[in-house]
Each structure stands twice: as C-alpha cells, then as structure tokens.
Amino acid sequence: MAENDAPTENNVPSGDNSKPPENENEISIDALAKKVQESLSLSKRHKFWETQPVGQFKDLGDTSLPEGPIEQPTPLSEVKQEPYNLPGPYEWITCDLDSEEVCNEVYALLTNNYVEDDENMFRFNYSKEFLRWALRPPGYFRSWHIGVRVKSSKKLVAFITGIPAKIRVHDAVVLMAEVNFLCVHKKLRSKRLAPVMIKEVTRRVHLENIWQAAYTAGVVLPTPITTCQYWHRSLNPKKLIDVGFSRLGARMTMSRTIKLYKLPEQTATPGFRKMEPHDVPAVTRLLRNYLKQFVVAPDFDENDIEHWLLPKEDVIDSYLVESPETHEITDFCSFYTLPSSILGNQNHSILKAAYSYYNVATKTPLLQLMNDALIVAKKKDYDVFNALDVMQNETFLKELKFGPGDGKLHYYLYNYRLRHVLRPSELGLVLL
Ligand SMILES: CC(C)(COP(=O)(O)OP(=O)(O)OC[C@H]1O[C@@H](n2cnc3c(N)ncnc32)[C@H](O)[C@@H]1OP(=O)(O)O)[C@@H](O)C(=O)NCCC(=O)NCCS
C-alpha cells in the first residue's frame, strides 16, 4: 500500500520527492515537524494494542528479552469457540470469494473505503482478480476472509483477511497468518470496530493452530520490526504531474521532465522473457537461495512460487533471464498491479501503478534487470513503478530515477519478538 508534497502516513502513492527543494528552510521545518509527530506517537497510549502479545514501546531496546513467541499456544479446546460480540446492528459473515456477488461487494467496500493518502487525492483500487489471487494462495482458509454486514440491509461494512504463510525469522521457519485488507466503512470509523475485527481474525487463526502473524500498516503501532519507505519511478510524468501525484521540479519544464524519464523501447538483457509454468522449479531455487540472506523472509516452495509468481494478466508480472547459451535461469524480476483511484480529477480517474515484488540477480546486474522491468512496465502503460527500500532495492533506486515518497510502511509481527529492529535491507518480505 504506497509521496512528498502530499505527506502520507500510509502507502498509497501520493506523489514523489524527487524534485529539489525550492526552499531549504521550509523543508527542514517540515522534516522537524514530522520527527516531533513521530516521537509523540511513540508515547501515545494504545488501549487495544497494549493488551496484545506484540513488542511494546516500553521494551524497545531491552535485548535481555528472549527472541521468539511472546505467548505459548493454548490447547485448541481452550480457544474461544464463538465469534466475538459485535454491536447489535451487525453480524459476522465468512466471505466466499468464489462467489461473483461477494467478490463485487468486497471490491466495492475497498474501492470506496480502503487506504487513501493523507491529502485524500488517491485511494487504492485493488481489482477483483487481484483480491482473488491475494486471498486464495495454497492452503488458504475461507474462514479467514471475514466480513461484517448490517443485519437489516445486509450491506457489507467491514472486512479483514488472513492467509497462511511460512515465514522464516533468523533460523526459525514459523507458520503465520498474513493479515491484510482491514477496512471499516467511512461512516463507521472511530467506534472501536477495528480491535474487534483484529480479535476475531486472531481467534480464527488460533482455531487453525497458528499463533503468529505478519502485517503492515501506514500507522505506527506497538512496535514495528522495521520501517520502510516507498520510492516512485515516473513512467508517465505528464499524467503524474497533471493529477498532482508529482510536481514539476524547480527549473524543469514539462518537456525536460518527459525526456528525463524516457526509457528505451526494448529491454537490454539477452534472454529476458516472461516466466512460464515450466520455470517454476528454477525460479523456486533462485528465489529460495536469494532470500536466505534476509532476517525475515518467506519460505517459498514450488506451490507458492506457482501461485505468487506465475504471470496473471493485470495482477502479477514476472520476467526472467534464460541464458541464451546454457538455458540456465539466472535472474528474475516481478511486479504486481495495484491501481489507485484518482479522487476528484476531471481528466483522469485511475493511476496505473506497478509495485516491485521479488527480484533476484545472479548474472545480470540488478540495475540492468530493474531497468528492463521499467521498460516492460512502461510498454504496458503503467504510470508509475513503485518499490520499497527492502532487500537490495536501495542499490538501484536512485540510479534508476526513483524518487523517495514520504509515506512510511511499518512491518509488524504478532506474538513474535525480535531482539533488534531491522534495517529495511534486512527484510525479504513484501506484503500486498
Ligand atoms: C484502519 C481502520 C479499519 C481503523 O478503524 P477506525 O474506525 O479508524 O479505528 P477504531 O476506532 O475501530 O480502532 C482504533 C484502534 O485500531 C487500531 N488501528 C488503526 N489502524 C490500524 C491498522 N491499520 N492496523 C492495526 N490496528 C489499527 C488503532 O491503533 C486503535 O487501537 P489502539 O487504541 O490500541 O491504538 C479504518 O480507519 C480504515 O478502514 N481505514 C482505511 C483503510 C486502512 O487504512 N486500512 C488499514 C490498512 S493497513
């Protein structure tokens, strides 16, 4: 979920910082205000999160605490068998995403109520096909796709999801839930519905004998395992400027800006091609080997790779390099498609964004591989290519003309303590 002039606390794309500051004083005061804000939010009370088995702010820096689960699992018979109570007018439902009708309802709730940037200029617009892909990986539980309806009208007003994932933390491979798509209808905000949603998904995760979770948020909660930043590479600078996503840099004209971001028509790497089903074993080996170097990373098997990385039109794109001589698969790159609605613009309603997913370079320079990813994204008419500063991404961001966003994305683990916070480059996990 994914910035500059529009300061955002979440990860919706809302502009980039690549322009030089027009007024150094103004920028530094902004930065200062942000730091003050951040330190204030550290001392903020969290009535809900303080009751949960998560790293607490008071324990930050206390390296005497053991790494690993904070609470031990309870016998399944002791897990609460009935759902948590909702306020009277509402009822729980399990969302069947096989149903076109349910999928439409979830899509409509998220399209109208999910994450926006701080200036409310953009809102994530996950497609139905994307949601189906994101929520039905191998071994998924339908009971973890949770909705809340108004009893009388049956209108869907809140949503939260989990999917199972094996995640390695240092040397321990832990079965976790990846929790995502928490959304409460705009008219029902600030009524403490979110904590009930979180407790209910946690209960249903426990019922499957799973006791840990991973999640991300634009807001600071107790306590991030790392804090990442989105970077944005303009592909269609004119549109990005027209819709207020980015601004013309000082002393820049539109035509100079267009020239600055222009990309070659053709990819540069010999043997660069789309990933196909027969590549699954090779890509699994490549990615498993690559992800070993990170402190927190998914533990993917071939089924996971088939699901998460085989190309799906307008959902996930994956390319690899097959050596023209040896036919060995040496490099790999991928991005997912997450458009944002442009709110209140006369000329444009959708921003087409590509998000860097997993990339591995063993023979091709990573810079060249990612430039080829930019070239295919441009050809496919994406307006912007976004990437977090995770894994080795910092090594290509500046050189490939990505600009830093001002939205932060915080990563969290539930019921698992890490002794040290991580640098973004120590994280090998991308959540959708
Ligand atoms: C996020 C959202 C569901 C929270 O609902 P809300 O009505 O604003 O807040 P509620 O009164 O129900 O609950 C507040 C509690 O939820 C916590 N909370 C808020 N956003 C959260 C998030 N993204 N993840 C986890 N907890 C969150 C708050 O910290 C607070 O708990 P605390 O007192 O311990 O700090 C709602 O604002 C929303 O739908 N926003 C748009 C979509 C979005 O940002 N989703 C989250 C994507 S990561």
Grouping H, G, I as helix, E, B as strand and the rest as coil, residue 148 is strand
E strand or H helix at 176? strand 172-184
Per the CB < 8 A criterion, the answer to whether 39 and 266 are in contact is no
Is the pLDDT higher at 28 or at 212? 212
Per the CB < 8 A criterion, the answer to whether 93 and 142 are in contact is no
Query: Does ligand 1 have an atom closer than 6 angstroms to the CB of 159?
Result: no
**26: pLDDT strictly greater than 80:** no
Burial 314-331 (b: 16+ CB within 10 A, else e): ebbbbbbbbeeeeeebbb
What is the distance between the terminal CA atoms of the chain, rounded to a whole angstrom? 7
- Residue 222 confidence (pLDDT): 97
Percent of the chain with pLDDT over 70: 90
210, 286, 320, 337 alpha-carbon torsion, rounded to 10°: 20
Is the pLDDT higher at 48 or at 11? 48
Query: Does ligand 1 have an atom closer than 6 angstroms to the CB of 2?
Result: no
- Residue 44 confidence (pLDDT): 85
- Residue 385 confidence (pLDDT): 98
* Token couple for 74: 């309870």
Can you tell me the mean pLDDT for 163-188? 98
Residue length of the chain: 432
- Residue 266 confidence (pLDDT): 98
Query: Does ligand 1 have an atom closer than 6 angstroms to the CB of 191?
Result: yes
- Alpha-helical (H) ranges within 326-407 are 366-379, 394-397
Instruction: Give the residue, out of 126, 156, 184, 340, with the most ligand 1 atoms within 8 A of its beta carbon, to mutate for a pocket test.
Output: 184
- Residue 406 confidence (pLDDT): 82
Per the CB < 8 A criterion, the answer to whether 318 and 311 are in contact is yes
Closest ligand 1 atom to residue 191 Cα is: 11
- Least confident among 30-34, 65-69, 206-210: 30-34
**Residue located nearest, by CA, to atom 35 of ligand 1:** 46
- Residue 61 confidence (pLDDT): 87
Can you tell me the mean pLDDT for 116-136? 97
- Residue 340 confidence (pLDDT): 98
| Annotated catalytic residue 109 | no
- Residue 207 confidence (pLDDT): 98
- Least confident among 19-33, 129-143, 387-401: 19-33
- Residue 373 confidence (pLDDT): 98
Main-chain phi, psi angles of 228, to 5 degrees = -110, 170
304, 308, 312, 317 alpha-carbon torsion, rounded to 10°: -130
Main-chain phi, psi angles of 245, to 5 degrees = -70, -45
- Residue 41 confidence (pLDDT): 59
**Residue located nearest, by CA, to atom 32 of ligand 1:** 46
Residue type, 361: A
* Token couple for 6: 């529009």
Average pLDDT, the chain: 92
**Residue located nearest, by CA, to atom 46 of ligand 1:** 182
Q: Where are the domains of the chain?
A: 49-217, 226-426
Instruction: Give the residue, out of 14, 44, 113, 189, with the most ligand 1 atoms within 8 A of its beta carbon, to mutate for a pocket test.
Output: 189
* Token couple for 204: 């249903």
* pTM reported for the whole predicted model: 0.92
CATH of domain 49-217: 3.40.630.30
- Residue 1 confidence (pLDDT): 35
**421: pLDDT strictly greater than 90:** yes
Summarised one tens digit per residue, pLDDT across range 380-411 is 999 999 999 999 999 999 999 999 998 899 99
Summarised one tens digit per residue, pLDDT across range 198-231 is 999 999 999 999 999 999 999 999 999 999 999 9
* Same fold? 49-217, 226-426: yes
CATH class of the domain at 226-426: alpha beta
- Residue 20 confidence (pLDDT): 37
Task: Give dist(CA 121, CA 69) in Å, integer.
Answer: 40
Instruction: Identify any residues that bridge with 175 across adjacent strands, giving them in sequence order.
Output: 166
User: HSE on the CB side for 136, CA within 13 Å?
Assistant: 12
**29: pLDDT strictly greater than 60:** no
- Residue 38 confidence (pLDDT): 57
Can you tell me the mean pLDDT for 131-156? 98
Per the CB < 8 A criterion, the answer to whether 391 and 362 are in contact is no
Instruction: Give the residue, out of 57, 196, 221, with the most ligand 1 atoms within 8 A of its beta carbon, to mutate for a pocket test.
Output: 221
Task: Give dist(CA 380, CA 406) in Å, integer.
Answer: 26
Can you tell me the mean pLDDT for 50-71? 95
List the one residue out of 299, 293, 288, 233 whose CA is nearest residue 425.
Answer: 293
Distance 75 CA to ligand 1 centre (A): 30
E strand or H helix at 354? strand 353-356
Can you tell me the mean pLDDT for 422-429? 98
Task: Please give the DSSP secondary-structure letter assigned to residue 331.
Answer: E
**158: pLDDT strictly greater than 50:** yes
**334: pLDDT strictly greater than 70:** yes
Task: Give dist(CA 104, CA 121) in Å, integer.
Answer: 24
